[in-house]
Amino acid sequence: MRASATQLSSVRESVESNCNDLADKSMQLQRLMAHFSSSNRAVQGLADSKPGQPLMVPLTESLYVPAKLADTRSVLVDVGTGYFVQMTTDAASDFCRRKSTKLEDTLKTVNQTLGEKRRALSQIDEVLAQKMAAGRQQQQQQQQQQPQQQTRGKSG
């Protein structure tokens, strides 16, 4: 079955929308990976600290309060959906590494699918361009034939 230019345009819009969604997903995954990498560095830094060490605790992005470190061997980890689990710093670091590895695997899959969709989009664009060129050529041929038929009709 041969698709019309209108049908191809519709498919193109759908594939382009998929590409945009996958690109957004890729960016979200990259942000999450950076978040877990940052968390892992923080946990490792905490493990090197000593109890009683002063630090600044963020209450918001721009509001901090001074505090003193009470425990350097244990942290509360947000494991998702608002649940926190108390872990040793080694376990928390391992948790962050595992999450990063899972996210990296997912990111590879998303980026591979995105590449396939972009190649498909490129192919659709090529076929659409060919159809448009063929349509223009056919239109030009028809326009050229019409004056010839009109002059024949007048001379006869």
pLDDT of the chain along its 156 residues, tens only? 577 888 889 999 999 999 999 999 999 999 999 999 999 999 998 888 899 999 899 999 999 999 999 988 999 999 989 999 999 999 999 999 999 999 999 999 999 999 999 999 999 999 999 988 888 888 888 888 876 666 665 655
Which of 37, 27, 29 is CA-nearest to residue 98? 37
Which residues face 58 on adjacent strands?
64
b (16+ CB within 10 A) / e for 80-111: eeeeeeebebeebbebbeebbeebeeebeebb
Q: Which two tokens stand for residue 137?
A: 């050529």
Residue with tokens 């090529």: 126
CA atoms of 138 and 156, how far apart (whole Å): 27
CATH architecture of residue range(s) 11-136: Orthogonal Bundle (1.10)
CA atoms of 138 and 146, how far apart (whole Å): 12
Domain ranges of the chain: 11-136
CA atoms of 111 and 48, how far apart (whole Å): 37
pLDDT value of position 68:
94
| Range list of β-strands (E), the chain | 54-58, 64-68, 74-80, 83-88
pTM: 0.76
